[in-house]
A and B are shown apart, each in its own frame.
Chain A
């Protein structure tokens, strides 16, 4: 059973465009929602994260929007750059105790110059 569903699986955008990645979750106990970025040959690295008591969080060109009632959250990458080309994973976790991140399947982003 996939607890975090991510879409689309891949996305191609032009430099300067907006990239949008959507995720939906099932477990209402999740209380922390991070996004990880993974470049080829590297491990995932934390990009930005949000808690459900906040509807939006912005860090530079990256913004998370969170809809608690719909159990959905999304990542928006503004002014996408070729260096943003990577695989993006949304994740969710119940913090406290043995924290186990549940990842989505990932979205491969390609930003063309």
Chain B
């Protein structure tokens, strides 16, 4: 087991709604990254949080936002949902002190937007 847990595992929303996804990082990891994986595609980087601050962002609009808490857990918030937001959202934790920088992924939250 990776130790990264995500919730909820599945959810259905309608266009225009807002969603919050949650992630608990692996013990000892201080960095959390979020990825969007559309069906049949590779994960795409959304953003990364380190010490409660955003530390890098991919090509996603501002309606994708996040938080990291003092215990290193994190939230991904998406406002004004669009049909194309339907995807598997993956959280990955890592340690800034890791030589390899390996990411440990959770099982994801599958979002369906109708």
Contacts and interface: CB of A to CB of B under 8 A. Distances in A.
A58 B51 CA distance: 36
B106 interface: yes
Contact of B41 (A97, A99, A106): A106
A82 interface: no
Interface residues of B, number: 27
Interface stretch (B13-21, B42-50, B66-74, B78-86): B42-50
B107 A97 contact: no
B55 A41 contact: no
Interface residues on A, range: 20 to 34
A49 B43 contact: no
Interface string A78-103: 00000000000101010101111111
A99 B105 contact: no
Contacts of B105: 36, 43-45
